[in-house]
Structure 1
Amino acid sequence: MITILKEKKENGYEWIDITNPVKEELTEVSAKYDLHKALVEDSLQPEHLPKFEMVADTQFIILRVYSSAAKKEADTIQEVTDKIAVFFGANFLITIHRREYPFLEEIKNRYVDTGKCATPFQLLFRIIHAAITSYNTPIAELAKELDFFEPKIFLQEKTPSLLKNLYYIKRKASVMDFIFDLTRSILENLKGKIASTHFNQLKDEILRLQTNTKHVVDNVANLLNIYISLSSQRTNEVVRVLTVFSVFFMPLTFIVGIYGMNFDVMPELRWSYGYLYVITFMVFVTFLIYLWFKKKGWL
Structure 2
Amino acid sequence: MITAYQYQDNILHTTQLTCSDTIPEGTLWLDVFQPEDDERQWLATYFVEEVPEEDDFNEIEASARFYLDKDGLHINSLFPQRVGQDLRTVNVSFNLRKDFLLTIREEDVGLMRLLRNYLRLGRLENMTPPDLFLELFNLKVEYLSDLIEDVYTVLENVGEQALNAEELDDIFKLITFQEDANGKIRLTLLDTQRSLRYMNRYYRKVLSEDNVKDLKEMLADVDSLMPHSQFIFDKLNFLLDAAVGLSGLQQNKIIKIFSVAAVVFLPPTVIASSYGMNFENMPELDWQYGYPMAIGMMLASAVGTYLFFRRKGWL
Normalised by the length of structure 1, the TM-score is 0.72
Query: Aligned letter for 2:125?
Result: T
Q: Tell me the number of residue pairs that the alignment of Structure 1 and Structure 2 aligns.
A: 256
Whether the 8 Å contact between 2:28 and 2:99 is mirrored in structure 1 is: yes
Question: 2:37 — aligned with what?
Answer: 23
- TM-aligned CA deviation for residue 225 of structure 1: 0.4
Distance 2:56 2:287 in 1: 89
Distance 1:167 1:207 in 2: 25
Distance 1:59 1:169 in 2: 35
Whether the 8 Å contact between 1:26 and 1:40 is mirrored in structure 2 is: no
Question: 2:298 — aligned with what?
Answer: none
Distance 2:288 2:133 in 1: 96
Distance 2:6 2:124 in 1: 8
Question: 2:258 — aligned with what?
Answer: 242
Unaligned runs of 5+ in 1: 270-299
Question: 1:184 — aligned with what?
Answer: 193
Question: 2:273 — aligned with what?
Answer: 257
Question: 1:65 — aligned with what?
Answer: 79
Residues 113/254 of structure 1: CA separation in 2 closer, same or farther (3 Å cut) = closer
Distance 1:94 1:55 in 2: 14
- TM-aligned CA deviation for residue 28 of structure 1: 1.9
Question: 1:197 — aligned with what?
Answer: 213
Distance 2:246 2:193 in 1: 39
Question: 2:89 — aligned with what?
Answer: 81
Whether the 8 Å contact between 2:77 and 2:191 is mirrored in structure 1 is: no
Q: Deviations over 1:66-87 (max 9, x none)?
A: 2132x43x4xxxx612222110
Question: 1:162 — aligned with what?
Answer: 171
Question: 1:120 — aligned with what?
Answer: 129
- TM-aligned CA deviation for residue 265 of structure 1: 6.0
Choose 1 or 2 for highest CA Rg.
2
Residues 112/60 of structure 1: CA separation in 2 closer, same or farther (3 Å cut) = farther
Question: 1:129 — aligned with what?
Answer: 138
Distance 1:160 1:55 in 2: 53
Distance 2:93 2:118 in 1: 16
Distance 1:80 1:264 in 2: 81
Question: 1:233 — aligned with what?
Answer: 249
Residues 152/112 of structure 1: CA separation in 2 closer, same or farther (3 Å cut) = closer
Query: Aligned letter for 1:166?
Result: I
Normalised by the length of structure 2, the TM-score is 0.69
Query: Aligned letter for 2:214?
Result: H
Whether the 8 Å contact between 1:5 and 1:108 is mirrored in structure 2 is: no
CA RMSD of aligned residues (A): 3.2
Question: 2:98 — aligned with what?
Answer: 90
Helix, strand or coil at the partner of 1:40: coil
